[in-house]
Structure 1
Amino acid sequence: MGRSATERLAACLNGDFSGNLDWFELVNTANEHFVAAFLSRSLAASDVQADADAEAYLETLETATRSRNRQMWTLTCEVVAALNAAGIVPALIKGASDMAARSDPAGFPRVMIDIDMILAPEDLAKGQEVLAEMGFAALEDSEDAHSPGSFWRQGAVASLDMHASLPRRISVLLDEEDWNLPPSGGLGAPSRLQLVTRDGARMWVPDASLRFLINISHDMLHHTALISGASNLRYLLVLAAQMQEEDAPLDWAWLRAKAAHPRFALALDLQLLMLAHLFGLRGPWPLPQGRLQQALHQRRLWKMRFPGLGRAEWACLQVGQRLSRPLRHMIWPPGRNPSVSRCI
């Protein structure tokens, strides 16, 4: 079976530009995964003679991405500094934390959609007052169970998502030694949150291993890629970079311990299988060979290679899930079986 467009793109991102390349397909697939800047850098590091229009387009996208991320970082530091002035030190998560962990935040090549930060619950009201004083207003219908909302002001390069906690499918994996964000005036450093001061702002940033866990959990569990079978290069590339980072090695023993949670164990196994398949990367233990892991991994590859059929399969699964929900509640009322409310 031939490689999919995603697999061909991954090869190029890994420096392998061999074969008869379809540059329109490569650029289009990179845009679908929000990784055009990664492709531009991989191309620049090679000696490949690319299609002139494709090369110029990719260079333009990378320049625009760098400019946007520079503005994103400036906005992040402006907001964090204002919160600091009110006695609040927020924790950055997701892409914002990946930027903060870099020596050059603007050089982070992934396209950022918004800025995510977490405040201690006791600081939420004061934090919203600070944002209001800066001209930010909550976007309509943006509030949810773990966030008072997404905030935006006229002219801002992106919205700011203020959270009271991590989503439950992520927070359930952590204990107080992993995540215990101090409120304003609080002392002590949680073991996996590091206090970082840069560009006039103080912020908590998850260490490399916690960022690795949040990346996998956010994509596979919170965004349900574990069920849908989706493969998102924008997440996989960040994981790949972390696995090769010598200055901030991953705590594999800690990650393995977190695999006591069955869903995270499966998500971790599937991402490691995909990282090995696409980029030739290996963790410190043998690749999973269980029937379930291999079946779900092959399903992801099948969905890559036949995207139309893959979308149809996922649509059918969603319909079946919706139709079965009333039946599940008839058989196991939520009050009698708390696990029902947590079904994927």
Structure 2
Amino acid sequence: MSRMALDTLIPALRGAPPTDADWTSVIEVANRCWMTPALFVALDGCGGPSGLPAEARDYLAFIHDRNRQRNLLLRGQLLEAVAALNRSGIQPILLKGAAIIFSAPERKLGARMMSDLDLLVEEAEQPVANAVLAALGYRAAEGQHEFWRPQDAGMLELHGPGTVSGLDGPSMMDAANFSSATCDAVQARLPSATLRALNLIVHDQIKDGDYWRGTIDLRHLYDLVELAQMPQGVDWLHLSRLMRSRLRRNAFETQLLALRDLFDVPIPEGLGRRLVPRVQHWRRMAQIRHPRLAMPLRFAGAVAWLGRRIRTKDVPRFTATDFAPRVLRKLMQGRRQVAEALMGLHLGPKL
């Protein structure tokens, strides 16, 4: 696996695939980042698949078609749950992948890979929503907000106000931040593109520790690219004002620099000029471009992230006795997770 594979994957996602790409390596990186269906859609939009080797083209088409079938199942599951909530007077807010497949045009329905569906309801609506899901046959999972049924393609997560990354401020639930949307006579609310970007950035950078570990969730970064390209776009200046703490501002501007440098997303003048975000961005790019730096930098970041979680009492779900083995497994992953260990990319399923 070469870092050059990433240098091919990103231009391909932007609709400009190199003619001399090593597609085996590119597809391997795309697979590990959950980006294979999105790669097919991007190439299909620019006529790219016709220029690929037959095996690569057939593989991309196969994975895309299978993911599209799964997303159809997930959308059917989502519409059933939202319709039942509607009948009880609840119009839930759809988050992340749920918002995407609810409103996606037919051409992009198979592009996004996801593992579950995230819904948000008001605090007063939660008991009714729980009863509605129970009536549909859902069972509560181990997690506090997770529900599942054996016949479904994925879990359903039911969130309340204050439990969603970035949407925990008192003004975040204002009606002006959401719009009503309809799909097959089912009604839900969708966050604005700016609010969806806020959720993704805070979730990845702060909650999942990307800011400390110097990693990039390429799938979510690409989500931000697509949000920026929506008709209403993302109000980056307004988003910067919502990042009230220094930590959040640094994390936000670090992500903006990645969007600009990897996907040519224009960012407002003045954002991303401060020293700390620039150093963080350099560090993330160094972990991608220089594999020998990745392990010590990631280790130092993981220790710093763990220290912060202990200070904020957001303690990981493992004990001190198995912390060291987990760290060693993470650092010595070998070829199976080389895209993460050497390229600073997330491999695991994150919504």
Instruction: Tell me how far 1:320 sits from its aligned partner.
Output: 6.0
Q: For 1:263-312, what per-residue CA distance to the aligned partner results, in whole angstroms no more than 9, with x for missing partners?
A: 22222211111111111121232452322112111111122234575245
Over 3 Å counting, the alpha-carbon distance change for 1:52 and 1:150 in structure 2 is same
In proportion to residue count, which structure has more helix? 2
Q: CA contact under 8 A between 2:8 and 2:18: conserved in structure 1?
A: no
Residue number in structure 2 paired with 1:161: 157
Q: Deviations over 1:2-50 (max 9, x none)?
A: 9553333112211232253111111111011111112112322234621
Structure 1 segment 62-101 matched on structure 2, within 5 A: 62-101=64-103
- Which TM-score applies when normalising by structure 2? 0.80
* Aligned residue number for residue 333 of structure 2: none
Correspondences of 1:308-319 after superposition (within 5 Å): 309-319=293-303
Give the residue type in structure 1 aligned to 2:258: M
What corresponds to 2:279 in structure 1? Answer: 295
Aligned-partner residue type, residue 42 of structure 1: A
What residue identity is the alignment partner of 1:116?
D
- The structural deviation recorded for 1:229 is 0.9
Match of 2:180 among 186, 192, 195: 195
Q: How does 1:175-324 map to 2 (within 5 A)?
A: 175-176=170-171, 178-180=172-174, 190-245=175-230, 247-286=231-270, 288-307=272-291, 309-319=293-303, 322=306
Q: Offset at 1:104?
A: 3.9
Q: Secondary structure at the match of 2:215?
A: coil
Change beyond 3 A, Cα 1:163–1:126: same
SS in 1 for 2:170: coil
1:128 paired with 2:127, answer no
TM-score of the two chains, using structure 1 as the length reference: 0.82
Percent identity reads 26
Separation in 2 of the partners of 1:314 and 1:63?
35
What is the count of residue pairs matched by the alignment?
313
For 2:34, give the aligned amino acid.
F
Distance in 2, Cα, partners of 1:94 & 1:325: 24
Q: Using the alignment, how far apart are the partners of 1:105 and 1:97 within structure 2?
A: 16
Question: Judging changes above 3 Å, is the alpha-carbon distance between structure 1 residues 273 and 321 closer, same or farther for their aligned structure 2 residues?
Answer: closer
Which of 108, 118, 121 is residue 119 of structure 1 equivalent to?
121
Q: Distance in 2 between matches of 1:237 and 1:134?
A: 34
SS in 2 for 1:271: helix
Deviations 1:120-146 (A, max 9, x none): 12222221111111111012x212xxx
Q: Contact (CA 8 Å) 2:213, 2:300: kept in 1 or not?
A: no
Q: 1: CA distance between counterparts of 2:219 and 2:225?
A: 10
Find the aligned partners of 2:90 and 2:63 in 1 and give their Cα distance.
36
Q: Secondary structure at the match of 2:181?
A: strand
Distance 1:258 1:196 in 2: 25
Aligned structure 1 segments of 4 or more residues deviating by more than 6 angstroms? 323-326
Instruction: State the 1:342 CA deviation.
Output: 7.3
8 Å Cα contact 1:99/1:105 also seen in 2: no
The structure-2 alpha-carbon separation of the partners of 1:105 and 1:22, relative to structure 1 and needing over 3 Å to count, comes to: closer
The reply to whether residue 23 of structure 1 matches residue 19 of structure 2 is: no
1:40 and 2:40 matched: yes
Q: Distance in 1 between matches of 2:156 and 2:122?
A: 16
Contact preservation (8 Å) 2:65, 2:110: no
Q: Which moved more, 1:304-313 or 1:195-204?
A: 304-313
Q: Secondary structure at the match of 2:166?
A: helix
Who is 2:334 aligned against?
Answer: none
Query: Which 10-residue stretch deviates more, 29-38 or 247-256?
Result: 247-256
User: How far apart are the structure 2 equivalents of 1:201 and 1:324?
Assistant: 42
- The answer to whether the 8 A contact 2:214-2:283 is kept is yes
Return the alpha-carbon distance in structure 1 between the equivalents of residues 170 and 262 of structure 2: 32
SS at match of 1:237: helix
**2 CA distance for matches of 1:297 and 1:323?**
22
1:177-229 residue CA offsets vs partner (Å, 9 max, x unmatched)? x314xxxxxxxxx1101122321222121011111111211121221211111
